[in-house]
Chains A and B, each alone.
Chain A
């Protein structure tokens, strides 16, 4: 089987979705660690220096563009699979089993993924776009060499808007519901289903990616709003 055929099979496409999904899982950990600097009481010195590093380091920038391609690839193939899966049952059932045979989360992957995709676009417009493509106020800190773009202040200004805070919380609920099934599902697609590791994989999927990380992200705009 040629590569072109292999990655056109149902399992081949799922492998691409799973691989890109796991890469995105690793990304959210790094992103959250960086974001927590927004809560430091240092008037943004650490966060702005970090943002300047992330925005100018060429290796990071290379990965950042790769990340956008990975998100689009993940969404595109997953949506393609979703539509072909829907088409595989032209006449629907009159009665469906609901949660009796499968978890609710596992059936909402496309919906939650779509919510996330919309959220990501809004999020990029809010911060990434403004950081790279607009003139931003700068700030010079004691001991720093040059003035830094004040992404910290932009974050505080953005999250004074209650609607946006609500939107970010909804986005993170989408992330939570997506990853509660997504992480473990990707492992299964790669053939990783073993008595000795299943407990650990479920724990990581549900508690780390499904609960801890989305709460970590969501807490930042909420704290800023009430500060």
Chain B
């Protein structure tokens, strides 16, 4: 691929803290290489801001290899930018042309309050996991790995659901700020396996109850979450969550 350098205009959301109203700031990013990742471009911009004695732009990042789910940026109206199945750190600057104007916003959801600039608080997801996204394991010796038969197809589906990195792009992309794709992936990865069966009813009921309590919207099946998910989690997981929830709601004695 041909390498080129570009000059860009950035419109970045700046917000001092949770209580600040926030506003867009226009910045120039000069001499950006097409080989850079989007975050590396931000690093360059921040270095310049620091050299000028200004406050750098706060943004979340950690692994920079597409598996931690931290790099939450809404770029030109798209969660994690224009490429499909990609996190912001894996988005390369070759997705843009010289002279482009790029608007960068934080995830927008009441349940994800902005901490600073592009950084949002996603602890609502942690509380949903705490409500039931686990299996209880008694202490003692580990059992033989082959004593629980698992269907290969279901193991693959569970693995695909477990690819969810909890980045929140589904919430950011959804017009309702619904967390259904996230919750459905976390319910599915366990519901598909024998280890998840003992607690399947309470898991579905408690996780959905917590999801509602956190103030996420409800799903209207638009499919925007699936389109934006960097791990390409399927909408079939939401259907499975619905089945789990209906089954539990109708038959659980609690």
Give residues in A with beta carbon < 8 Å to B: 1, 5-6, 9-15, 81, 84-98, 100-103, 106-107, 109, 181, 184-185, 188-193
Contacts and interface: CB of A to CB of B under 8 A. Distances in A.
Nearest to A89: B177
B197 interface: no
Contact of A95 (B77, B177, B241): B77
B71 to A, nearest CB: 18
Contacts of A109: 220
B127 interface: no
Nearest to A1: B205
B245 interface: yes
B17 interface: no
Contacts of B76: 95
A89 B217 contact: yes
Nearest to A193: B239
Contacts of A191: 239-240, 242-243, 246
A5 B110 CA distance: 23
B233 interface: no
Interface stretch (B50-58, B90-98, B155-163, B206-214): B206-214
Given A9-B212, A81-B218, A84-B217, A188 B242 contact: yes
B220 to A, nearest CB: 6
B110 A11 contact: no
A86 B134 CA distance: 31
Contact of B103 (A6, A10, A94, A103): A94
Contacts of A101: 78, 173, 222-224, 227-228
Contacts of A107: 175, 222
Interface of B: 11, 22, 24, 74, 76-78, 103, 105, 108-111, 173, 175-178, 205, 208-209, 211-212, 215-224, 227-228, 235-236, 238-243, 245-246, 248-249, 252, 254
A10 B238 contact: no
A93 B218 contact: no
29 contacts: A1-B205, A9-B212, A10-B211, A10-B212, A10-B216, A10-B217, A11-B241, A14-B218, A85-B175, A85-B220, A88-B217, A89-B176, A90-B110, A91-B22, A91-B108, A92-B108, A93-B74, A93-B77, A93-B105, A95-B105, A97-B77, A98-B77, A100-B78, A101-B173, A101-B228, A102-B175, A181-B221, A188-B238, A190-B242
Contacts of A96: 77
Contacts of A185: 220-221
B154 to A, nearest CB: 15
Contacts of B209: 1, 5, 9
A6 B246 CA distance: 9
B221 A89 contact: no
List of 5 A-B pairs having minimum Cβ-Cβ separation, nearest first: A191-B243, A193-B239, A88-B217, A95-B77, A85-B176
A189 B223 contact: no
A12 B224 contact: no
Contacts of A103: 222-223
Contacts of A11: 208, 218, 241-242, 245-246
Nearest to B103: A95
B17 to A, nearest CB: 14
B224 A102 contact: yes
Choose among A13, A87, A90, A102 the residue with the greatest number of B CB atoms under 10 Å from its CB: A102
A107 B242 CA distance: 21
A181 to B, nearest CB: 7
A88 B111 contact: yes
A12 B219 contact: no
Contacts of A88: 109-111, 176-178, 215-217
Nearest to B240: A191
Given A85-B220, A89-B109, A188-B238, 11 more contacts: A10-B208, A10-B219, A89-B110, A97-B78, A98-B77, A101-B222, A101-B227, A102-B223, A102-B224, A185-B221, A188-B242
B80 to A, nearest CB: 11
Nearest to B249: A6
Nearest to A182: B221
A33 to B, nearest CB: 29
A13 B176 CA distance: 15
